[in-house]
C-alpha cells in the first residue's frame, strides 16, 4: 500500500501540496485528476522518493522512499509527461534495460525483464529499433516498458496521453488494462478523465494542492467539473 499522510510540499515557501492524505491499495486503479498547477505531479513524485516532504509522511509498503529509494523505485514505477525526456538510450531494448542494469541484476535476468516488459506493451519485435524512429504512441509504450522492467507493484503515469492521438491513447489504455488485470496498481494522473473514468476504482481530485474530491467514479464525476477537470458530457 502507498500511504501518504498530511503531506506538504513547498516551492519557494509556497505550498504545491498542502496537507494531502491518500492511500493506494495493491491492485487498485486510481485516477488523480486536477487542473494545471493543482499539485498532481508534485504529489506523485513523492511516491518513489523523487521529492522529500516538507511535512507529513509517505510510506510504500511500509518503507520510507527517502530512506530507501531503491526499494521505492523498484516498487513504484514512474512514467512521466513527455516520454522523450526519460529515454536514456538510443534503442528500445537498451532503454528498457537501463533500470534493471542499475539494480545490478545478472544479464540473463535483465534480458528476461526487458523481453517481458516489451511483450507487455506489444513491442517485443522492436527491441533493436531506434527510439526516435518510433511514433509518439510507441514511444509512450516504451516509457511504460521502462517502468515495468523494474518489476513494480504500482505504476504511476503522469499525463501519459499528452500529445497522443486517439488510436495511441486507446492502445496505451488497453495495455494498462492488461497490467491492472495482472494485479499491478495503476495511478493515472490526468486533467481529463474522459475515456478513463470507467476503469478507475476511485477518483481523487486535487485543487490548489488539497484533495477536493474523492470517491468512486459515479460519485466523484459531478464534483470534478467544478475544479476544472474535463468530464464526460
Three-class SS state of 89: coil
Pick the closer one to another protein by CB: 45 or 180. 45
Question: Could you tell me which of 31, 23, 99, 28 has the C-alpha nearest to residue 61?
Answer: 23
Distance in angstroms (rounded) separating the CA atoms of residues 150 and 76 = 8
61 binds another protein (CB under 8 A): no
Instruction: For residue 76, list its beta bridge partners.
Output: 154
Among 85, 181, 182, 183, binds another protein (CB under 8 A): 85
78 binds another protein (CB under 8 A): yes
Pick the closer one to another protein by CB: 145 or 212. 145
Sign of the dihedral defined by the CA atoms of residues 117, 123, 124, 127, in that order? negative
52 binds another protein (CB under 8 A): no
Distance in angstroms (rounded) separating the CA atoms of residues 164 and 51 = 28
Looking only at residues 184 through 203 of this chain, which bind another protein when binding is defined by CB under 8 A? none
Whose cell is 513524485? That residue is: 45
157 binds another protein (CB under 8 A): no
Q: How far is the CB of 66 from another protein (least distance, A)?
A: 12
Binding site for another protein (CB under 8 A): 45, 48-50, 69-70, 73-74, 78, 80, 82, 85-91, 94, 97-107, 110, 128-130, 146-147, 150
Amino acid at each position: 500500500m502507498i500511504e501518504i499522510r498530511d503531506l506538504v510540499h513547498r516551492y519557494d515557501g509556497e505550498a504545491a501540496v498542502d496537507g494531502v492524505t491518500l492511500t493506494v491499495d495493491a491492485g487498485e486503479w486510481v485516477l488523480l485528476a486536477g487542473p494545471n498547477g493543482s499539485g498532481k505531479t508534485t504529489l506523485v513524485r513523492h511516491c518513489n522518493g523523487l521529492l522529500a516532504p516538507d511535512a507529513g509522511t509517505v510510506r510504500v509498503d511500509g518503507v520510507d522512499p527517502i530512506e530507501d529509494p531503491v526499494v521505492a523505485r523498484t516498487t513504484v514505477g514512474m512514467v512521466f509527461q513527455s516520454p522523450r525526456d526519460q529515454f536514456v538510450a538510443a534503442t528500445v531494448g537498451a532503454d528498457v534495460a537501463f533500470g534493471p542494469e542499475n539494480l545490478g541484476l545478472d544479464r540473463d535476468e535483465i534480458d528476461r525483464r526487458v523481453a517481458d516488459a516489451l511483450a507487455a506493451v506489444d513491442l517485443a519485435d522492436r527491441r533493436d529499433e531506434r527510439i526516435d524512429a518510433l511514433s509518439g504512441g510507441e514511444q509512450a509504450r516504451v516509457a511504460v516498458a521502462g517502468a515495468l522492467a523494474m518489476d513494480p507493484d504500482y505504476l504511476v503515469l503522469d499525463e501519459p496521453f499528452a500529445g497522443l492521438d486517439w488510436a495511441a491513447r486507446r492502445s496505451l489504455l488497453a495495455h494498462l488494462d492488461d497490467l491492472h488485470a495482472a494485479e499491478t496498481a495503476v495511478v493515472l494522473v490526468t486533467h481529463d478523465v474522459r475515456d478513463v473514468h470507467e476503469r478507475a476504482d476511485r477518483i481523487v481530485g486535487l485543487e490548489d494542492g488539497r484533495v477536493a474530491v474523492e470517491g468512486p467514479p459515479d460519485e466523484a464525476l459531478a464534483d470534478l467539473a467544478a475544479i476544472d477537470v474535463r468530464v464526460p458530457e
